[in-house]
Structure 1
Amino acid sequence: MKNDSKERYGSVSKTFHWLMAVLIGWQLFKFGDRIAEGEHWVGETLVPWHVSIGTLLLILIVMRLAWVMTQRHQRPAQEPATAKLVKAGHGLLFAGMLLMPLTGMMVMLGGGYGMTAFDLEVFAKGEEIAWAATLGSLHSPLAWALTVLIIGHISMALIHHFVQRDDTLKRML
Protein backbone atom coordinates (compact mmCIF):
# COMPACT_ATOMS: atom_id res chain seq x y z
CA MET A 1 0.00 0.00 0.00
CA LYS A 2 1.51 3.32 -1.13
CA ASN A 3 -0.57 5.74 0.95
CA ASP A 4 -0.79 5.98 4.72
CA SER A 5 -3.89 4.75 6.52
CA LYS A 6 -5.28 5.19 10.02
CA GLU A 7 -3.66 1.84 10.97
CA ARG A 8 -0.23 1.93 9.26
CA TYR A 9 2.19 4.08 7.34
CA GLY A 10 2.31 3.35 3.62
CA SER A 11 5.32 2.28 1.59
CA VAL A 12 6.29 5.83 0.60
CA SER A 13 6.37 7.04 4.23
CA LYS A 14 8.29 3.94 5.31
CA THR A 15 10.83 4.36 2.50
CA PHE A 16 11.41 8.01 3.39
CA HIS A 17 11.72 7.14 7.09
CA TRP A 18 14.19 4.28 6.78
CA LEU A 19 16.27 5.76 3.95
CA MET A 20 16.66 8.97 5.91
CA ALA A 21 17.39 7.03 9.11
CA VAL A 22 20.31 5.29 7.40
CA LEU A 23 21.61 8.51 5.83
CA ILE A 24 21.31 10.48 9.09
CA GLY A 25 23.08 7.63 10.89
CA TRP A 26 25.86 7.96 8.32
CA GLN A 27 25.97 11.72 8.94
CA LEU A 28 26.43 11.12 12.66
CA PHE A 29 29.78 9.51 11.88
CA LYS A 30 30.98 13.12 11.50
CA PHE A 31 31.22 13.11 15.29
CA GLY A 32 34.14 10.72 14.69
CA ASP A 33 36.15 13.70 13.50
CA ARG A 34 36.40 14.67 17.15
CA ILE A 35 38.43 11.49 17.77
CA ALA A 36 42.09 11.65 16.68
CA GLU A 37 41.16 14.57 14.39
CA GLY A 38 39.40 12.20 12.01
CA GLU A 39 42.57 10.24 11.28
CA HIS A 40 40.94 6.79 11.19
CA TRP A 41 38.91 4.59 8.85
CA VAL A 42 35.58 6.32 9.55
CA GLY A 43 37.08 9.77 9.17
CA GLU A 44 38.80 8.86 5.93
CA THR A 45 36.06 6.85 4.19
CA LEU A 46 32.60 7.91 5.41
CA VAL A 47 33.05 11.52 6.57
CA PRO A 48 34.23 12.86 3.17
CA TRP A 49 30.67 12.20 1.93
CA HIS A 50 29.19 14.44 4.65
CA VAL A 51 28.37 17.41 2.39
CA SER A 52 26.97 15.25 -0.43
CA ILE A 53 24.80 13.18 1.92
CA GLY A 54 23.64 16.37 3.66
CA THR A 55 22.58 17.81 0.30
CA LEU A 56 20.71 14.61 -0.52
CA LEU A 57 19.03 14.75 2.89
CA LEU A 58 17.88 18.32 2.21
CA ILE A 59 16.19 17.17 -0.99
CA LEU A 60 14.67 14.16 0.77
CA ILE A 61 13.32 16.17 3.72
CA VAL A 62 11.63 18.66 1.38
CA MET A 63 10.08 15.76 -0.54
CA ARG A 64 9.12 14.04 2.71
CA LEU A 65 7.46 17.16 4.10
CA ALA A 66 5.48 17.50 0.87
CA TRP A 67 4.43 13.84 1.18
CA VAL A 68 3.45 14.27 4.84
CA MET A 69 1.24 17.21 3.88
CA THR A 70 -0.61 15.07 1.31
CA GLN A 71 -1.08 12.29 3.87
CA ARG A 72 -1.84 14.35 6.99
CA HIS A 73 -5.53 13.41 7.17
CA GLN A 74 -5.00 9.67 6.82
CA ARG A 75 -1.93 9.04 8.99
CA PRO A 76 -2.16 6.75 12.04
CA ALA A 77 -3.83 8.47 14.96
CA GLN A 78 -2.06 9.06 18.27
CA GLU A 79 -3.50 8.42 21.71
CA PRO A 80 -5.36 11.61 22.72
CA ALA A 81 -3.43 11.90 26.00
CA THR A 82 -0.06 12.13 24.23
CA ALA A 83 -1.01 13.41 20.75
CA LYS A 84 0.29 16.95 21.31
CA LEU A 85 3.56 15.68 22.76
CA VAL A 86 4.03 13.26 19.84
CA LYS A 87 3.30 16.02 17.30
CA ALA A 88 5.74 18.35 19.06
CA GLY A 89 8.45 15.68 19.07
CA HIS A 90 7.96 14.89 15.40
CA GLY A 91 7.84 18.61 14.61
CA LEU A 92 11.18 19.13 16.32
CA LEU A 93 12.66 16.15 14.45
CA PHE A 94 11.47 17.52 11.11
CA ALA A 95 12.75 21.02 11.99
CA GLY A 96 16.14 19.56 12.92
CA MET A 97 16.31 17.49 9.73
CA LEU A 98 15.57 20.62 7.69
CA LEU A 99 17.86 22.98 9.59
CA MET A 100 20.90 20.69 9.63
CA PRO A 101 21.63 20.79 5.88
CA LEU A 102 20.63 24.46 5.64
CA THR A 103 23.03 25.50 8.40
CA GLY A 104 25.66 23.18 6.90
CA MET A 105 25.34 25.07 3.63
CA MET A 106 25.72 28.31 5.57
CA VAL A 107 29.01 27.01 7.04
CA MET A 108 30.34 26.49 3.52
CA LEU A 109 28.91 29.72 2.08
CA GLY A 110 29.87 31.82 5.11
CA GLY A 111 33.42 30.51 5.12
CA GLY A 112 33.83 31.20 1.41
CA TYR A 113 34.66 27.54 0.83
CA GLY A 114 32.23 26.90 -1.98
CA MET A 115 30.24 23.71 -1.98
CA THR A 116 30.31 20.58 -4.11
CA ALA A 117 27.87 17.69 -3.72
CA PHE A 118 28.36 14.44 -5.62
CA ASP A 119 30.98 16.23 -7.78
CA LEU A 120 28.48 18.96 -8.79
CA GLU A 121 29.27 22.52 -7.82
CA VAL A 122 26.40 23.91 -5.74
CA PHE A 123 28.12 27.28 -5.30
CA ALA A 124 31.63 28.47 -6.09
CA LYS A 125 34.35 29.53 -3.68
CA GLY A 126 34.16 33.18 -2.87
CA GLU A 127 34.34 35.83 -0.23
CA GLU A 128 33.43 35.06 3.36
CA ILE A 129 29.88 36.13 4.21
CA ALA A 130 29.46 37.10 7.85
CA TRP A 131 25.70 36.57 8.18
CA ALA A 132 25.96 33.10 6.58
CA ALA A 133 28.86 32.19 8.88
CA THR A 134 26.77 33.29 11.86
CA LEU A 135 23.88 31.05 10.78
CA GLY A 136 26.37 28.27 10.03
CA SER A 137 27.67 28.46 13.58
CA LEU A 138 24.37 26.86 14.64
CA HIS A 139 25.20 23.66 12.72
CA SER A 140 27.16 21.93 15.47
CA PRO A 141 24.78 22.75 18.37
CA LEU A 142 21.85 21.67 16.17
CA ALA A 143 23.66 18.40 15.44
CA TRP A 144 23.86 17.68 19.17
CA ALA A 145 20.21 18.66 19.69
CA LEU A 146 19.06 16.51 16.76
CA THR A 147 21.09 13.59 18.10
CA VAL A 148 19.30 13.90 21.46
CA LEU A 149 15.93 14.01 19.64
CA ILE A 150 16.85 10.93 17.60
CA ILE A 151 17.85 9.02 20.73
CA GLY A 152 14.53 10.04 22.31
CA HIS A 153 12.62 8.98 19.18
CA ILE A 154 14.29 5.56 19.10
CA SER A 155 13.83 5.15 22.85
CA MET A 156 10.12 5.92 22.67
CA ALA A 157 9.66 3.49 19.76
CA LEU A 158 11.36 0.76 21.79
CA ILE A 159 9.35 1.58 24.92
CA HIS A 160 6.14 1.34 22.90
CA HIS A 161 7.24 -2.00 21.48
CA PHE A 162 8.79 -3.74 24.49
CA VAL A 163 7.15 -2.07 27.50
CA GLN A 164 3.72 -0.95 26.34
CA ARG A 165 3.54 -3.79 23.81
CA ASP A 166 1.43 -1.82 21.37
CA ASP A 167 1.66 -1.60 17.57
CA THR A 168 3.32 1.83 17.35
CA LEU A 169 6.65 0.48 16.06
CA LYS A 170 4.96 -2.07 13.78
CA ARG A 171 3.22 0.75 11.89
CA MET A 172 6.60 1.82 10.48
CA LEU A 173 8.04 -1.67 9.91
Structure 2
Amino acid sequence: MNDTPQRYGTLSRLLHWGMALLIGWQLLKIFDRINDGEHWVGQTLVPWHVSIGALIMLLVIIRLVWAIKQKDNRPRSEPVALVKAGHGLLYLGMLVMPITGVMYLVGKGYGLKVFGMQLIARGDGVEWMASLGSLHSPIAWLLLLLIAGHVGMALLHHFVKKDDTLKRML
Protein backbone atom coordinates (compact mmCIF):
# COMPACT_ATOMS: atom_id res chain seq x y z
CA MET A 1 0.00 0.00 0.00
CA ASN A 2 2.73 2.50 0.99
CA ASP A 3 5.29 3.91 -1.42
CA THR A 4 8.90 2.77 -1.23
CA PRO A 5 12.12 4.28 -2.65
CA GLN A 6 11.98 1.59 -5.38
CA ARG A 7 8.31 1.81 -6.37
CA TYR A 8 5.04 3.66 -5.88
CA GLY A 9 2.56 1.79 -3.70
CA THR A 10 -0.84 0.44 -4.67
CA LEU A 11 -2.78 3.53 -3.60
CA SER A 12 -0.45 5.93 -5.42
CA ARG A 13 -0.66 3.85 -8.60
CA LEU A 14 -4.44 3.48 -8.32
CA LEU A 15 -4.88 7.23 -7.88
CA HIS A 16 -2.44 8.01 -10.71
CA TRP A 17 -3.95 5.69 -13.33
CA GLY A 18 -7.54 6.19 -12.19
CA MET A 19 -7.17 9.94 -12.47
CA ALA A 20 -5.38 9.57 -15.82
CA LEU A 21 -8.42 7.68 -17.10
CA LEU A 22 -10.86 10.27 -15.70
CA ILE A 23 -8.85 13.20 -17.07
CA GLY A 24 -8.68 11.46 -20.44
CA TRP A 25 -12.48 11.20 -20.30
CA GLN A 26 -12.67 14.91 -19.48
CA LEU A 27 -10.52 15.79 -22.46
CA LEU A 28 -13.15 14.18 -24.68
CA LYS A 29 -15.10 17.40 -24.06
CA ILE A 30 -13.27 18.79 -27.07
CA PHE A 31 -15.51 16.59 -29.24
CA ASP A 32 -18.47 18.54 -27.87
CA ARG A 33 -17.27 21.44 -30.02
CA ILE A 34 -17.62 19.33 -33.17
CA ASN A 35 -21.08 19.45 -34.73
CA ASP A 36 -22.47 20.94 -31.48
CA GLY A 37 -21.94 17.63 -29.68
CA GLU A 38 -24.39 15.81 -31.95
CA HIS A 39 -22.51 12.49 -31.99
CA TRP A 40 -22.02 9.55 -29.61
CA VAL A 41 -19.16 11.18 -27.61
CA GLY A 42 -21.11 14.39 -27.11
CA GLN A 43 -24.29 12.54 -26.18
CA THR A 44 -22.93 9.76 -23.95
CA LEU A 45 -19.66 10.90 -22.32
CA VAL A 46 -19.74 14.70 -22.25
CA PRO A 47 -22.91 14.97 -20.10
CA TRP A 48 -20.83 13.52 -17.23
CA HIS A 49 -18.21 16.28 -17.54
CA VAL A 50 -19.26 18.26 -14.45
CA SER A 51 -19.70 15.19 -12.24
CA ILE A 52 -16.38 13.67 -13.31
CA GLY A 53 -14.71 17.06 -12.73
CA ALA A 54 -16.05 17.11 -9.17
CA LEU A 55 -14.78 13.56 -8.62
CA ILE A 56 -11.35 14.56 -9.94
CA MET A 57 -11.27 17.51 -7.52
CA LEU A 58 -11.93 15.16 -4.61
CA LEU A 59 -9.31 12.69 -5.87
CA VAL A 60 -6.72 15.46 -6.30
CA ILE A 61 -7.18 16.46 -2.67
CA ILE A 62 -6.89 12.82 -1.55
CA ARG A 63 -3.86 12.38 -3.77
CA LEU A 64 -2.16 15.51 -2.41
CA VAL A 65 -2.72 14.41 1.18
CA TRP A 66 -1.40 10.93 0.34
CA ALA A 67 1.64 12.35 -1.51
CA ILE A 68 2.51 14.57 1.46
CA LYS A 69 2.12 11.63 3.83
CA GLN A 70 4.35 9.47 1.59
CA LYS A 71 6.93 12.11 0.63
CA ASP A 72 9.79 10.48 2.54
CA ASN A 73 9.01 7.03 1.11
CA ARG A 74 8.67 7.93 -2.58
CA PRO A 75 11.16 7.11 -5.33
CA ARG A 76 13.62 9.92 -6.03
CA SER A 77 14.05 11.45 -9.49
CA GLU A 78 16.77 13.53 -11.11
CA PRO A 79 16.83 16.49 -11.58
CA VAL A 80 14.60 16.91 -8.56
CA ALA A 81 13.73 20.61 -9.04
CA LEU A 82 12.53 20.14 -12.62
CA VAL A 83 10.50 17.05 -11.75
CA LYS A 84 8.91 18.81 -8.77
CA ALA A 85 8.04 21.84 -10.90
CA GLY A 86 6.41 19.66 -13.56
CA HIS A 87 4.41 17.66 -11.05
CA GLY A 88 3.50 20.84 -9.16
CA LEU A 89 2.09 22.39 -12.34
CA LEU A 90 0.13 19.20 -13.07
CA TYR A 91 -1.40 19.24 -9.58
CA LEU A 92 -2.14 22.97 -9.89
CA GLY A 93 -3.87 22.38 -13.21
CA MET A 94 -5.89 19.48 -11.80
CA LEU A 95 -7.03 21.71 -8.91
CA VAL A 96 -7.72 24.84 -10.94
CA MET A 97 -9.73 23.06 -13.65
CA PRO A 98 -12.69 22.03 -11.46
CA ILE A 99 -12.57 25.32 -9.54
CA THR A 100 -12.80 27.40 -12.71
CA GLY A 101 -15.47 25.03 -14.06
CA VAL A 102 -17.64 25.60 -11.00
CA MET A 103 -16.98 29.34 -11.16
CA TYR A 104 -18.12 29.39 -14.78
CA LEU A 105 -21.32 27.45 -14.07
CA VAL A 106 -22.28 29.43 -10.98
CA GLY A 107 -21.13 32.70 -12.52
CA LYS A 108 -23.39 32.13 -15.52
CA GLY A 109 -26.30 31.24 -13.22
CA TYR A 110 -26.48 27.53 -14.16
CA GLY A 111 -25.95 26.26 -10.63
CA LEU A 112 -24.04 23.07 -9.90
CA LYS A 113 -25.42 19.56 -10.26
CA VAL A 114 -23.09 16.65 -9.47
CA PHE A 115 -24.11 13.02 -10.05
CA GLY A 116 -27.77 14.10 -10.06
CA MET A 117 -27.56 16.12 -6.83
CA GLN A 118 -28.18 19.85 -7.04
CA LEU A 119 -25.36 21.32 -4.91
CA ILE A 120 -25.81 24.95 -5.93
CA ALA A 121 -29.19 26.16 -7.18
CA ARG A 122 -29.64 28.00 -10.43
CA GLY A 123 -29.73 31.71 -9.91
CA ASP A 124 -28.57 35.08 -11.01
CA GLY A 125 -25.15 35.09 -12.55
CA VAL A 126 -22.13 36.48 -10.74
CA GLU A 127 -20.10 38.40 -13.28
CA TRP A 128 -16.68 38.14 -11.60
CA MET A 129 -17.10 34.37 -11.19
CA ALA A 130 -18.09 33.95 -14.82
CA SER A 131 -15.10 36.05 -15.84
CA LEU A 132 -12.63 33.94 -13.84
CA GLY A 133 -14.45 30.79 -14.90
CA SER A 134 -13.88 31.68 -18.53
CA LEU A 135 -10.24 30.68 -17.93
CA HIS A 136 -11.40 27.04 -17.72
CA SER A 137 -10.91 26.30 -21.41
CA PRO A 138 -7.48 27.97 -21.85
CA ILE A 139 -6.24 26.24 -18.69
CA ALA A 140 -7.50 22.94 -20.13
CA TRP A 141 -5.25 23.46 -23.14
CA LEU A 142 -2.29 24.21 -20.86
CA LEU A 143 -3.06 21.12 -18.79
CA LEU A 144 -3.18 19.06 -22.00
CA LEU A 145 0.31 20.33 -22.88
CA LEU A 146 1.56 19.45 -19.39
CA ILE A 147 0.06 15.97 -19.69
CA ALA A 148 1.71 15.50 -23.09
CA GLY A 149 5.03 16.57 -21.55
CA HIS A 150 4.51 14.20 -18.62
CA VAL A 151 3.76 11.26 -20.91
CA GLY A 152 6.63 12.25 -23.20
CA MET A 153 9.11 12.33 -20.32
CA ALA A 154 7.89 8.96 -19.01
CA LEU A 155 8.42 7.45 -22.47
CA LEU A 156 11.82 9.14 -22.81
CA HIS A 157 12.92 7.62 -19.50
CA HIS A 158 11.62 4.21 -20.49
CA PHE A 159 12.80 3.94 -24.09
CA VAL A 160 15.82 6.27 -24.29
CA LYS A 161 17.30 6.42 -20.81
CA LYS A 162 16.15 2.87 -20.11
CA ASP A 163 15.81 3.53 -16.39
CA ASP A 164 13.04 2.33 -14.10
CA THR A 165 11.11 5.61 -13.89
CA LEU A 166 8.04 4.32 -15.74
CA LYS A 167 8.22 0.87 -14.15
CA ARG A 168 7.89 2.42 -10.67
CA MET A 169 4.37 3.61 -11.58
CA LEU A 170 3.27 0.47 -13.46
TM-score (norm 2): 0.98
| CA distance, structure 1, for counterparts of residue 163 and residue 86 of structure 2 | 19
What does 1:4-153 correspond to in 2, within 5 Å?
4-79=3-78, 82-153=79-150
Unpaired segments ≥5 residues, structure 2: none
- How many residues align? The count is 170
| CA distance, structure 2, for counterparts of residue 60 and residue 68 of structure 1 | 12
Q: Which amino acid aligns with 1:119?
A: G
Runs of 4+ in 1 over 3 A off after TM superposition: none
Name the counterpart of 1:3: 2
| CA distance, structure 2, for counterparts of residue 160 and residue 87 of structure 1 | 16
| CA distance, structure 2, for counterparts of residue 122 and residue 157 of structure 1 | 38
| CA distance, structure 2, for counterparts of residue 106 and residue 58 of structure 1 | 14
| CA distance, structure 2, for counterparts of residue 135 and residue 68 of structure 1 | 29
What are the Cα deviations for residues 69-98 of structure 1, in whole angstroms up to 9, with x where unaligned? 10111110112xx21111000000000000
| C-alpha displacement of 1:130 | 1.1
Percent identity reads 59
| C-alpha displacement of 1:134 | 1.4
What are the Cα deviations for residues 23-79 of structure 1, in whole angstroms up to 9, with x where unaligned? 000000001112111111100100000000001001110111111110111110112
| CA distance, structure 2, for counterparts of residue 25 and residue 118 of structure 1 | 19
| CA distance, structure 1, for counterparts of residue 83 and residue 30 of structure 2 | 28
| CA distance, structure 2, for counterparts of residue 121 and residue 7 of structure 1 | 44
Equivalent position SS for 1:122: strand
Name the counterpart of 1:162: 159
| C-alpha displacement of 1:168 | 0.2
Q: Which amino acid aligns with 1:126?
A: G
Unpaired segments ≥5 residues, structure 1: none
